[in-house]
Amino acid sequence: MKKIAVLLSGSGVFDGSEIHESVLTLLALSKLEVEYQCFAPNIEQMHVVNHLTGEVESGESRNVLVESARIARGEILPTDALLIEEFDALIIPGGFGAAKNLCNFATNGSDCEISPLVSEFVAEFATTNKPVGFICIAPIMIPRLYGEGVIATIGNDSETAQAFNLMGGCHQDAIVEDIVVDEKNKIVSTPAYMLAGNIAEASIGIEKLVKKVVEMV
């Protein structure tokens, strides 16, 4: 039976994993009867955002692994517990946590760096030629993880696409329902809530991405 790793970045769109995207990913995997395991880096969040007001809660801190456990219903492992031989592929949902906790794109733009725990985790899949799916803003990490010429999409936001290209990637514009596939590097990406107006729209591209990742195993 195929087994897919899912990398989370907290819980909540403004400072962690986008919950709809994460749940839609797990649902799509389950509907395909694919086993999955959630992971998250055991690090502190960049900051904590009050999702009711949108304001940063000064003086409050939360752990990415602990918060991600909320989405995973407690069934989660730290990234350094990965046994790569047990997994066939990886999927990374979006949300600002991907740009704040997994890397620092939210503050550093095209000069961003990937968290060492995250780069080591993803490298396990890249170096063993296993497919990886990136959702929403998560694809912004791809050039840093895979190098020059890698192909992906974040939708059609010109500034984010420009940053992707400045880091050495080759961005392709896409609509919300689309996926973009880099066959050479075994990467699949989709815009999801970079463009989606609702959860139904987000689900279309995510289901396509999950299906494609599983097919590429």
197: Cβ contacts below 8 Å, ≥ 6 apart: 176
Under the banding of pLDDT at 50, 70 and 90, the label for residue 68 is very high
Residue 53 is predicted with a pLDDT of: 96
- The per-residue pLDDT for range 144-195, each reduced to its tens digit, is 999 999 999 999 999 999 999 999 999 999 999 999 999 999 999 999 999 9
Residue 35 is predicted with a pLDDT of: 98
Residue 170 is predicted with a pLDDT of: 98
Under the banding of pLDDT at 50, 70 and 90, the label for residue 66 is very high
- The per-residue pLDDT for range 48-64, each reduced to its tens digit, is 999 999 999 999 999 99
Whole-number average pLDDT of the chain: 97
Residue 212 is predicted with a pLDDT of: 98
Structural Rg of the chain based on CA atoms: 15
Q: Is the pLDDT of residue 31 over 90?
A: yes
Q: Which residues are catalytic?
A: 136
Taking alpha carbons only, the member of 91, 97, 90 closest to residue 64 is: 97
Average pLDDT over residues 107-118: 96
Domains of the chain in sequence order:
3-216 (3.40.50.880)
Three-class SS of the chain: CCEEEEECCCCCCCCCCCHHHHHHHHHHHHHCCCEEEEEECCCECCCCECCCCCCECCCCCCEHHHHHHHHCCCCEEEHHHCCHHHCCEEEECCCHHHHHCCECHHHHHHHCCECHHHHHHHHHHHHCCCCEEEECCHHHHHHHHHCCCCEECCCCCHHHHHHHHHCCCEECCCCCCCCEEECCCCEEEECHHHCCCCHHHHHHHHHHHHHHHHHHC
Q: Is the pLDDT of residue 1 over 90?
A: no
Average pLDDT over residues 39-53: 96
Average pLDDT over residues 94-98: 97
Q: Is the pTM of this model over 0.95?
A: yes
Residue 163 is predicted with a pLDDT of: 97
Residue 134 is predicted with a pLDDT of: 98
